[in-house]
A and B are shown apart, each in its own frame.
Chain A
Amino acid sequence: MSGHSILLKIFDDNKDKILEAGKYDKTEYDEFIINLKNAENIRINILENIKEMNSIDAKKLGEKSGISEQAMQCNIEYLKELGSLKFMGETSRFFQNIIDESLKKDTFPNVSIIRDTNLCCGCGLCVSICPVNAITYIEGTFELNEEICINCGLCFAGCPRSFFPRVIKHSNEGINTTIKHSESVNNYMEIYSAQTQDTQIKQVAQDGGIVTTLLKTAFQEGLIDATLAVGESENPHCPLPMFVRNEIELLKTSGTKYSNTPSLKILSQSKKFNKIAVVGTPCMMEALKKMSFYPLNKPFYENISFKIGLFCMESFDYNSILELLHNEFDRSPAHVKKMDIDKGRFYLYNEDGTSVDIPLKRIKKYGRLGCFFCDDLTAEQADISIGSIGSESGWSTVIIRTQKGADLFERALKRNLIDKKKINEEEKSFITLSNIAKSKQKTYKDNRRPKMIEQEPKKRIKNFDEVPFGLTEDLAFKESLRCLQCGRPLCVTGCPVNIDIPGFIKRIKLKKNFDAIHHIKTYNLLPAICGRVCPQELQCENSCLLNSLGEPISIGYLERYIADWERKNQLKECPDCKPTNNKKVAIIGSGPAGLTCAGELAMKGYDVTIFEAFHEGGGVLVYGIPEFRLPKEIVKSEIETLKMINVKIHYNSIIGKTLSIDDLREMRFKAFFIGVGAGLPIFIQVPGLNLNGVLTANEFLTRSNLMKAYRFPEYDTPIRVGKVVTVVGGGNVAMDSARTALRLGAEKVIMVYRRSEAEMPARKEEYHHGKEEGIDFRFLTDPIRFIGDENDNVKEMEVVSMELGEPDASGRRRPLPIPNSEHIIETDTIILAIGANANPILTRSIPELKLNKRGYIETDENGQTSIEGVFAGGDIVTGSATVISAMGAGKKAAGAIDNYLTNL
């Protein structure tokens, strides 16, 4: 909870600064702090309850604190998005990293991240929210002055794009039984097609003139004393938000400006008025609605009487409008009387009443990126929503959503200002509106990842060929278009080696595949491998901005595509190397850590030699990860690339046995990189371990992969799989063993894992593949005994069911056995895949090398060990991790070795 008392402190500390900024006077400030304090106390209470109950059940929590379930859900969402529920495993959808960083400094995130990730819809609310006026809106975007900013995070919390709880989306104001719900237009009371009867308005209005007419009514009836609407600045068609105080001025605002307007930036000035109406796009309505649920800026929204929403497919920056007019029509805005969208076409009206039009599709590309994240066509959060879709020319479609809206419309009717026709759900106009609304929801939802074509499960469990075939050129290109090319790409922050992801995707988009592969390789020498084995769903793709929609860019597929493209075209892209400097570096172990370190150093001009214990290079890539997941050809070809840049490899060379480090010193190696991995299998301590048919995943996979036992008897190494194979574990190693067993002919493969599906550390895609292939997953199950027959062949495994208890130090919930739940699984082969330890062969041979308690090598963050000139990285430092983290360590160490040898 630390974070939240901090908030009040920030406000205390900055009281003078806030008062000086002038948005709040003293009384307002006090009122504001009281509100905030109350809200904070409620949240502190909720957090305590969550801890106590160890669950996040809105209903129960609500009962406990005496808050409605809806309000509770808003609070929960708030806590989650501001990182306070991380201890329960609930994190912010995509800002967790930034929030963590802020919290470290006792501050809160601000909206610059919303802007930098193209999420901003330009509503302007943050400008109003900021209590110290740190945000200014200019030319389609805003600037945040970090020096003024007090890091209170209010702008972030209030922004409709940081998060927008679903409960708010579907909430309706007031209890009204006449409210209907439609999937396409959300809650409403009535829908009409309407036209103004006011001749003056008719002349200037966009469509039916209803917005202006309703506002006029509100003025005449004394329901408002001002309205926040949009006029035109001195630049033609450039919108200018303004408060209008009477009917006469109102006419100036009539008509649509398609470039977006940060109207809400002046909302903070609304204090001057008693009751106002706000006219705006759906996103602005969302902003207002969200604000009413969170007490962030009481003084500004309490006087909003009417929210009038406009239908909106997308908006444009003013500059994009200029570009659009220029590129598509060769016009300057001064010569355009009016723009309009009708029946799938975009129209320009000239002064003389003639018009030109183009299909809507052509203008899409000028739209704001922020609009991409919007699934609201009909301004679902307004009191009344108005647009042209669904009505004939000169008429507007009016969706009355709240009682307030209904009253206002009623009054306009009474004054005979409006002519109306009711629209029922069966009618064609409704269907049109509904379809278009759905299509907006769909572009948003349908913004799907491509699927790779895969070998059919039934077929593939009979062979060792790779499962997915990779993206086709078309699909890859299409996928590249989907990338938003974020200004501050979040994906990159999720990648352990910080590949410039938008950079390489952009090159695919431009169909410059060759540049793309070159670009990746400056960051990552083994893209064909990473594209296949990285847990993208936890790394780059997890961080991708689009992940908030559930469909991040398929970064892994694209990486794989581009690397495969290179191999297919035999364009071995040899990285640029500096001329040789004849300084010798020895690399011990040819896993991903060693290979990367070798490659990086070779590029820097060093004379690099790899020593590998096995008869093949690649480490886990060849002996652990099976052919159907990572074809060995690929590993070979990546090693060939290294040879091309003069890296030498000696196989069958166990350092610590065949050669010692001192021998290597005699061979005049000046620096050493140790990347020997974590090869030692761990055994679970249960009776019956030494029965026949119980083996480690390492043995099973090494036999199958490295020794190609799956091609026995063509290859000499045998492997034995029984009828029913049971694999113990839930990681990649377990998954690989299970799927290998299937392919070797097991009739049934069971996987027992002591935690639940959610905790399973295996790559998601492989888990999915395993499920398709028919592996029988037994979650929350732990073996306690292996039982053999009279010949010591295993025949059964006794297991116990588990439940998840309190979170442990790692934050994962600890599995605990359920008493009396023991049961038997019949099985004739048991494969143990529960983890690995450090391999001691090398480390034992260098007694002065400092190890930690568990036998892993201690290094600083650059891989420097306790011995000068000796560096280490990968699993032998971190314990079993991932290919890409091993590569990251190899790359870092290469930098450190370069430094060391340069300064020697």
Chain B
Amino acid sequence: MFLIKNEYYFNVLKMPYKILKKKDLGSSNMLVEMELEVPLIAKKARAGNFILIRINEKGERIPLTVADYDRNKGTITIVFQIVGKSTKLLSDLNEGNELLDVVGPLGNEIHVKRYENPIIIVGGGVGIAPCYPQAKELKEAGNKIITIIGARNKDLLFWKEKMATVSDEFIVCTDDGSEGRKGVVTDPLKEIIKRETIDHVIAIGPLIMMKFVTLTTNGSGDLPKVKTWVSLNTIMIDGTGMCGGCRFSTLDGEIYFACVDGPDVDGHSVDFDNLLKRSGRFKDQEEESMRCYCQEHGYSQKKEVQ
């Protein structure tokens, strides 16, 4: 037994980081799901964790949240939206291809236990994916899960069935009403927290969505205050607390690192305005990088990609 384990580790340490499955999500051509064979990470991964990948020798290190894991198969699932050169490059890889580096699991896992009151999980856009393991783990622990997912339009929606299986109540919204309720995710959120006592809210999605979720739950106005976790996808390099690139500031000016203090953090303390400004730091370069890549590969640059 001992021997087998010992060899197991050494064997998996030598394995390449292979893409086992790839599929497009929704019908926007912008969302991709991939299953990676990374047994060591799969063995440890928990809801809330992320990984860093590097596609090739010249690639950046990009953080991606663990959207699902299968410990038996030794795989994790990632979901990403094509927004820039690196994600474009990643989307151009196929089943059977290998990534140069995958490291993780990084970041803190969420606290899973049986809470007294229901939990609301709000997922927006590509942020729907990381909601899945959180919902799953919390549901398995016996919690009542109310899920709200939203997107600009129906083409950008995905994992509806999958999310529904781990939810007790499931609400879909689109900005344009092409599917589910027309409107933003905070509309049903308001109704629910008015309706019943909620233990806490988990919000994962675009910064602007998370900002409005926290404004909804911060106890201002006539709504009760509800503890809210948000998941920060700041710019990262090492993911181990070394570079400080991922830092964010709280409203009272304290500095934290998303990679080691998060990624899930108390949403009411985050200075979203500062974060929104920081997130655009490398916009020019990112565009330049994308432009070069598209030229080299004969793509026409899709402006709507943001």
A353 at the interface (CB under 8 A from B): no
| Given contact pairs A613-B240, A615-B101, a sample of 4 additional A-B residue pairs in the complex whose CB atoms are under 8 Å apart | A613-B103, A690-B249, A696-B244, A715-B58
With contacts A695-B244, A792-B277 known, is A658 near B40, CB below 8 A? yes
Chain A residues with CB under 8 Å of B10's CB are 667
A658 touches B274 (CB 8 A): no
B58 touches A698 (CB 8 A): no
B300 at the interface (CB under 8 A from A): no
Chain B residues with CB under 8 Å of A658's CB are 40-41, 44, 103-105
A646 at the interface (CB under 8 A from B): no
B100 at the interface (CB under 8 A from A): yes
- Chain A, residues 660-694, CB within 8 Å of chain B (1/0): the string is 00010011100000000001110100010110100
A608 CA / B106 CA spacing, docked (Å): 26
**What is the CB-to-nearest-CB distance from B188 to chain A, in angstroms, rounded to a whole number?**
33
A667 CA / B7 CA spacing, docked (Å): 8
A701 CA / B2 CA spacing, docked (Å): 43
Greatest chain A CB density within 10 A among B5, B101, B104, B244 is at B244
With contacts A658-B103, A702-B242, A718-B285 known, is A692 near B278, CB below 8 A? yes
A308 CA / B126 CA spacing, docked (Å): 96
A657 CA / B240 CA spacing, docked (Å): 10
A445 at the interface (CB under 8 A from B): no
A714 at the interface (CB under 8 A from B): yes
Stretch at the interface among A214-222, A321-329, A648-656: A648-656
**What is the CB-to-nearest-CB distance from B8 to chain A, in angstroms, rounded to a whole number?**
9
A420 at the interface (CB under 8 A from B): no
Chain B residues with CB under 8 Å of A653's CB are 13, 103
Which residue of chain A is the closest to B3 with respect to CB atoms? Answer: A668
Chain B residues with CB under 8 Å of A715's CB are 58-59
B61 touches A841 (CB 8 A): no
Name B265-306 residues within 8 Å CB distance of A.
271, 274, 277-278, 280-282, 285-286, 288-289, 292
Name A699-748 residues within 8 Å CB distance of B.
699, 702-703, 707-708, 712-720
Chain A residues with CB under 8 Å of B288's CB are 713
B5 touches A702 (CB 8 A): no
Chain A residues with CB under 8 Å of B281's CB are 692, 720
Which residue of chain A is the closest to B288 with respect to CB atoms? Answer: A713
From the candidates A657, A680, A695, name the one contacting B242 in the complex (CB within 8 A): A680
B240 touches A654 (CB 8 A): yes
B interface list, Cβ under 8 A from A: 2, 5-6, 9-10, 13, 40-41, 44, 54, 58-61, 85-86, 100-106, 237-238, 240-245, 247-249, 253, 255, 260, 271, 274, 277-278, 280-282, 285-286, 288-289, 292
Chain B residues with CB under 8 Å of A708's CB are 58
Chain A residues with CB under 8 Å of B101's CB are 615, 651-652
A683 touches B5 (CB 8 A): no
A839 at the interface (CB under 8 A from B): yes
**What is the CB-to-nearest-CB distance from B190 to chain A, in angstroms, rounded to a whole number?**
30
A690 touches B274 (CB 8 A): yes
A interface list, Cβ under 8 A from B: 613-615, 650-654, 657-659, 663, 666-668, 679-681, 683, 687, 689-690, 692, 695-696, 698-699, 702-703, 707-708, 712-720, 791-792, 839-841
From the candidates B44, B104, B289, name the one contacting A718 in the complex (CB within 8 A): B289
Chain A residues with CB under 8 Å of B9's CB are 659, 663, 666-667
**What is the CB-to-nearest-CB distance from A492 to chain B, in angstroms, rounded to a whole number?**
35
Chain A residues with CB under 8 Å of B292's CB are 713
B106 touches A654 (CB 8 A): yes
Q: Could you give 26 example pairs across A and B, Cβ below 8 Å?
A: A613-B103, A652-B101, A653-B13, A653-B103, A654-B103, A654-B104, A667-B6, A668-B6, A689-B249, A689-B255, A690-B255, A692-B278, A692-B280, A698-B243, A699-B245, A702-B237, A702-B243, A712-B285, A713-B285, A713-B289, A716-B58, A719-B285, A791-B277, A839-B240, A839-B241, A839-B242
With contacts A613-B103, A657-B104, A699-B245 known, is A717 near B44, CB below 8 A? no
Chain B residues with CB under 8 Å of A712's CB are 285, 289
A650 touches B240 (CB 8 A): no
B242 touches A659 (CB 8 A): no
Chain A residues with CB under 8 Å of B237's CB are 699, 702-703, 707, 717
From the candidates B102, B104, B244, name the one contacting A699 in the complex (CB within 8 A): B244
A718 touches B58 (CB 8 A): no
A650 touches B13 (CB 8 A): yes
Chain B residues with CB under 8 Å of A654's CB are 103-104, 106, 240
Which residue of chain B is the closest to A841 with respect to CB atoms? Answer: B240
From the candidates B86, B103, B243, name the one contacting A716 in the complex (CB within 8 A): B86
**What is the CB-to-nearest-CB distance from A591 to chain B, in angstroms, rounded to a whole number?**
12
A614 touches B238 (CB 8 A): yes
With contacts A650-B13, A668-B6 known, is A679 near B58, CB below 8 A? no
B100 touches A615 (CB 8 A): yes
A708 CA / B237 CA spacing, docked (Å): 12
- 5 tightest A-B CB contacts, nearest first: A718-B285, A699-B243, A679-B242, A696-B244, A652-B103
Chain A residues with CB under 8 Å of B242's CB are 679-681, 698, 702, 839
Chain A residues with CB under 8 Å of B40's CB are 658-659
From the candidates B59, B106, B277, name the one contacting A692 in the complex (CB within 8 A): B277
Chain A residues with CB under 8 Å of B44's CB are 657-658
Chain A residues with CB under 8 Å of B249's CB are 689-690
A716 touches B244 (CB 8 A): no
Chain A residues with CB under 8 Å of B5's CB are 666-667
Greatest chain B CB density within 10 A among A679, A687, A717, A839 is at A717
From the candidates B103, B243, B280, name the one contacting A696 in the complex (CB within 8 A): B243
With contacts A650-B13, A663-B9, A707-B60 known, is A681 near B243, CB below 8 A? yes
A679 touches B255 (CB 8 A): no
Which residue of chain A is the closest to B14 with respect to CB atoms? Answer: A650
A695 CA / B235 CA spacing, docked (Å): 12
**What is the CB-to-nearest-CB distance from A52 to chain B, in angstroms, rounded to a whole number?**
44
From the candidates A690, A702, A717, name the one contacting B247 in the complex (CB within 8 A): A690
**What is the CB-to-nearest-CB distance from B54 to chain A, in angstroms, rounded to a whole number?**
6
Chain A residues with CB under 8 Å of B41's CB are 658
Which residue of chain B is the closest to A658 with respect to CB atoms? Answer: B40
With contacts A658-B41, A699-B243, A718-B285 known, is A690 near B278, CB below 8 A? yes
B243 touches A615 (CB 8 A): no
Chain B residues with CB under 8 Å of A668's CB are 2, 6
A663 CA / B8 CA spacing, docked (Å): 11
From the candidates B6, B104, B241, B247, name the one contacting A679 in the complex (CB within 8 A): B241
**What is the CB-to-nearest-CB distance from B246 to chain A, in angstroms, rounded to a whole number?**
9
B243 touches A841 (CB 8 A): no
Chain B residues with CB under 8 Å of A681's CB are 242-244
**What is the CB-to-nearest-CB distance from A614 to chain B, in angstroms, rounded to a whole number?**
7
**What is the CB-to-nearest-CB distance from A716 to chain B, in angstroms, rounded to a whole number?**
4
With contacts A663-B9, A690-B255 known, is A714 near B58, CB below 8 A? yes
From the candidates A666, A667, A702, A791, name the one contacting B238 in the complex (CB within 8 A): A702
B85 touches A716 (CB 8 A): yes
A474 CA / B243 CA spacing, docked (Å): 44
**What is the CB-to-nearest-CB distance from B275 to chain A, in angstroms, rounded to a whole number?**
9
Chain A residues with CB under 8 Å of B278's CB are 690, 692, 792
Chain B residues with CB under 8 Å of A713's CB are 285, 288-289, 292
**What is the CB-to-nearest-CB distance from B216 to chain A, in angstroms, rounded to a whole number?**
25
Which residue of chain B is the closest to A791 with respect to CB atoms? Answer: B277
With contacts A689-B249, A713-B292 known, is A720 near B285, CB below 8 A? yes
A583 CA / B235 CA spacing, docked (Å): 42
Chain A residues with CB under 8 Å of B260's CB are 840-841
**What is the CB-to-nearest-CB distance from A792 to chain B, in angstroms, rounded to a whole number?**
4
A680 CA / B240 CA spacing, docked (Å): 9
With contacts A657-B106, A712-B289 known, is A717 near B244, CB below 8 A? no
